[in-house]
Structures are given as structure tokens and as C-alpha cells.
């Protein structure tokens, strides 16, 4: 996939001294490596981009969705690395992509314990990677399941994020069937759109609105149509609950595996140029056929139809409000004072933008509550905000369906973050 990334050059043996500045946006180099973590067979595949000859004050970390890999962001690496003062990292989550694939095992006995253990499998590895890389704070961008886990990371490891960007995150809205053990799993869902909609129809579909949402808009343009819901076949519900991974079907299919994968890639990404589509198919098949590992977390986190068992909407008000330093020696506890959270959806996303809008309301209410009881120092440090952006002519894979608008919106958020952090640092040193 990296062969389709323009302009960026590979850093050879870690040296960048002999590279010429051949880009309007500055010379940038990339490299990939495995970052080994503690324990047996635990390592994260890392792709990084740095701007040559510049000091990087800010860091963007990108997390992919379920069963995918960092290579799907190939149309975002160059545009996002144009922003001065930033370095970029994209990671394959533990047990997915080209990261190591440890044996999957859940030891917890309770329902809540299993959910927590499944989330920790991913967020603990991200935190260990951060410590190894010596990154103090960073902006975290997560797509789909990566967005869900980004929220989990923010709650478990407070004080490490400057901003949270959730791109078509899974698990935001509350569904009674997914969170109650007494009720059966839901029988319908919008997830079927991921396998039936084709990209060309999505990106060329006539907009339902007069104008698209752009970076900086206070409110997104709401979709007028209701999300499509389809009946889930009984065997899908059974396979989900039995933890039969969809990638197991690819592995069991043997020589027919490539055909199964091409059925999805050729339809879902048929808008891409043929060389990119062919490479994406090869890349997807190479990931799907590897040993099952992190993929087995899915039924512990989501019920059939991608309804969260621990909905983000129930937890989002606490993001950016955790204790960083407990009270000690007569000094009061130090708490986070809010965190900018950006929800991004495709205009024709099967993830419902209403979930993001509801989360925005809860975050705003939490900000109002915090300010009513805040100390002068806490008022000065207050940094909470929430917004919902809609990427026009895009579906669930908004970063690939319409990379131009997606990249523009994310770059704007990066510029705003850098400006805020520069002001904060000047204030603290004055």
C-alpha cells in the first residue's frame, strides 16, 4: 500500500541528511518497524512520518478499524504530514494488521470483567508503546473500532491526549439489547451496508443537503434519511456469539479465500483506480489469512450488529475529567480539565451521526457542570469541547471515500491543536 503514497520518501538506515527538499510542503520521510513490547509475542507494527529539519512539538497517532491495518490510511499520510510541527504515527493494533498475533484468552468470569479485559488488551499495548516512544502527549485519531478503543484509552490513561478525533466510531449509541443480559441480541442492524454498498455509489450519490460540513463548522449537516437497518440472518447471530471470526471463513476457504476477499474489496472500493484496488485486495487478503488473535475481542465488546455492550454514550462525559495526580501531602488532586473531542461521520455512513450528536450534548452539559464548581486554576485550564463533522460523499470509510475533505478537516484540527498547545506552553513558562 505504501507504494501508492506520493511524495514521501523512505528513510534509509534512519538517516535523512542526504535527502533533498523536493516538496512544496517540505521534505518528509517515512519508515516502518516493529516495536517490541513486554511479554511473549507482543509487538506493534509502526509506520511513522517525520518532517526533515523541523522540530516536532505535536504528535498524531492513527488507529485503524476492526480486522484492518494501517495501510488503509495510505491516502491520508502525505496530506496530514503537511502540517508543520507535527510527526505522524500509524499503528497496527495488537493482534491485527501486521502486528504480532498472541494467543487470545479472556480470564475474567463476569460480563463487565470480560469487557474490561478485552478493552485492556488493546489500550495497554498502546500505552506501553507510548512510553517506549517517549511521547508525553498526543492527538489520537481512531476509525470505527479504533475510535471506540480511543475512548477507552482516554479513560484509562488520563492526561496523555491533546485531542480525540473519532472517525465513524463504533459503539457510541445505547442499544438496550446490547447492554442487558436479560434481553436477546438485536436482530437487525445497519452493519450489512458495509458488505452490500459499493464505494462508487457512495461517493457519487447526490447529497441530501445544500452544502457539506467543513472544518470549523459549529454544527454538522444532519442526514435526512434514516439509517438503513437489515435483518441479521440467524447464522450470523450464532457465529457472532460463538466467536467465529469472519476472517476464519477466509482461512478455512483455502484457495477460495482470495475470491471471498475480492468480493468485498472490489465492491466496497470500486471507486479506486484499478492499480490501487488491486493492491488493496492483496493487502486485505494478506491480513485476513493470518492467525486469528485480536479479532476475537469483537463479541466481548459488541453484540451482533455492532451494538456496544458498554456504550460510549454512557462514558463520554467522563473523557478528559479523570484524576491525573491523586491528592497527597496536603495538596489537592489534579484533574483533567476537559479534552476537545471531534466526531466525524461520512454523509452516507452506516454509523448513525445521531450518536455523535447525542454525545456532543452530553459533553457540553459536563462542561457546564465543571465550570459551576471549578477553581480559578481549573477555569484557566478548561479545555473541553465537542463537535460533529460530516464528510460529504463518503460512507463508513470516510478517510478513503473522500480523502480530500477528510484530510482538510483533520489538518484544520491539527492546526488548532498546535496553536492551543503553543499558547498553553507560553502561559506556563511566563
Q: Yes or no: say if 341 and 386 are a contact pair by the CB < 8 Å rule.
A: yes
Residue of 92, 349, 401, 405 marked active site = 349
CA separation for the pair 104, 189 (Å, rounded): 27
Q: Yes or no: say if 122 and 93 are a contact pair by the CB < 8 Å rule.
A: yes
Q: Yes or no: say if 202 and 348 are a contact pair by the CB < 8 Å rule.
A: yes
CA separation for the pair 162, 219 (Å, rounded): 22
Other C-beta atoms lying within 10 Å of the C-beta of residue 90? 27
- In the sheet that holds 28-36, the strands lie side by side as 9-10, 28-36, 43-51, 86-91, 58-63, 138-143, 161-167, 340-346, 385-391
Residue of 48, 99, 100, 144 marked active site = 144
Can you list the positions of beta strands (E) in 306-428? Answer: 307-308, 323-325, 334-335, 340-346, 385-391
What is the residue whose three cell numbers read 493487502? 283
Q: Yes or no: say if 179 and 98 are a contact pair by the CB < 8 Å rule.
A: no
Cβ-based neighbours of 403, under 8 Å, separated by 6 or more? 75, 76, 79
Other C-beta atoms lying within 10 Å of the C-beta of residue 356? 29
Other C-beta atoms lying within 10 Å of the C-beta of residue 367? 21
Q: Is residue 144 annotated as part of the catalytic site, yes or no?
A: yes
CA separation for the pair 408, 429 (Å, rounded): 32
CA separation for the pair 420, 380 (Å, rounded): 13
Reading the block at residue 49, the C-alpha cell is 512520518
Q: Is residue 396 annotated as part of the catalytic site, yes or no?
A: yes
- Report which of 409, 376, 416, 413 is spatially closest to residue 394, judged by C-alpha positions: 409
- DSSP state, residue 331: B
Q: Yes or no: say if 194 and 267 are a contact pair by the CB < 8 Å rule.
A: no
DSSP letters for 33-58? EEEE-SSTT-EEEEEEEEETTS---E
Residue of 197, 396, 397, 401 marked active site = 396
- Report which of 197, 236, 173, 229 is spatially closest to residue 362, judged by C-alpha positions: 173
What is the residue whose three cell numbers read 466526531? 343
CA 131, 106, 97, 160 dihedral sign is negative
Active-site positions read 144, 349, 396
Amino acid at each position: 500500500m505504501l507504494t501508492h503514497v506520493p511524495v514521501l520518501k523512505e528513510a534509509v538506515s534512519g538517516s535523512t541528511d542526504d535527502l533533498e527538499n523536493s516538496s512544496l510542503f517540505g521534505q518528509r520521510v517515512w519508515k516502518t518497524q516493529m516495536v517490541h513490547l513486554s511479554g511473549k509475542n507482543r509487538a506493534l507494527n509502526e509506520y511513522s512520518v517525520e518532517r526533515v529539519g523541523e522540530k516536532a512539538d505535536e504528535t498524531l497517532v492513527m488507529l485503524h478499524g476492526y480486522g484492518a491495518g494501517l495501510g488503509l490510511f495510505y491516502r491520508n499520510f502525505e496530506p496530514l504530514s503537511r502540517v508543520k510541527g507535527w510527526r505522524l504515527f500509524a499503528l497496527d493494533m495488537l493482534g491485527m494488521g501486521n502486528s504480532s498475533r498472541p494467543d487470545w484468552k479472556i480470564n475474567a468470569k463476569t460480563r463487565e470483567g470480560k469487557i474490561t479485559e478485552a478493552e485492556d488488551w488493546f489500550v495497554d499495548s498502546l500505552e506501553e508503546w507510548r512510553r517506549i516512544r517517549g511521547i508525553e502527549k498526543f492527538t489520537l485519531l481512531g476509525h470505527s473500532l479504533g475510535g471506540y478503543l480511543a475512548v477507552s484509552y482516554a479513560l484509562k490513561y488520563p492526561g496523555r491526549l491533546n485531542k480525540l478525533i473519532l472517525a465513524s466510531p463504533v459503539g457510541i449509541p445505547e442499544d438496550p439489547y446490547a447492554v442487558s443480559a436479560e434481553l436477546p441480541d438485536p436482530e437487525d442492524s445497519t452493519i450489512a451496508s458495509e458488505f452490500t454498498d459499493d464505494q462508487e455509489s457512495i461517493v457519487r450519490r447526490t447529497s441530501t443537503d445544500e452544502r457539506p460540513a467543513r472544518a470549523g463548522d459549529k454544527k454538522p449537516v444532519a442526514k435526512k434519511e434514516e439509517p438503513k437497518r437489515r435483518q441479521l440472518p440467524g447464522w450470523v447471530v450464532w457465529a457472532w456469539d460463538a466467536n467465529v471470526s469472519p476472517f476464519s471463513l477466509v482461512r478455512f476457504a483455502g484457495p477460495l479465500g482470495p475470491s471471498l476477499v475480492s468480493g468485498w474489496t472490489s465492491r466496497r472500493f470500486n471507486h479506486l483506480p484499478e492499480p490501487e484496488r488491486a493492491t488493496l485486495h492483496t493487502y486485505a487478503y494478506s491480513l485476513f489469512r493470518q492467525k486469528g488473535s485480536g479479532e476475537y475481542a469483537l463479541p466481548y465488546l459488541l453484540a451482533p450488529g455492532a451494538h456496544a455492550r458498554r456504550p460510549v454514550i454512557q462514558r463520554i462525559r467522563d473523557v478528559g475529567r479523570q484524576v491525573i495526580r491523586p491528592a497527597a501531602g496536603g495538596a489537592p488532586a489534579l484533574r483533567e480539565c476537559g479534552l476537545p473531542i471531534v466526531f466525524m461521520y461520512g454523509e452516507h455512513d452506516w454509523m448513525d451521526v445521531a450518536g455523535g450528536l447525542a454525545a456532543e450534548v452530553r459533553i457540553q452539559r459536563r462542561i457546564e457542570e465543571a465550570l459551576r464548581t471549578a477553581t480559578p486554576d481549573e477555569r484557566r485550564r478548561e479545555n473541553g469541547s465537542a463537535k460533529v463533522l460530516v464528510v460529504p460523499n463518503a460512507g463508513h470509510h470516510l478517510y478513503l471515500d473522500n480523502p480530500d475533505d477528510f484530510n482538510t478537516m483533520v489538518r484544520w484540527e491539527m492546526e488548532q491543536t498546535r496553536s492551543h498547545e503553543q499558547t498553553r506552553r507560553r502561559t506556563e513558562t511566563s
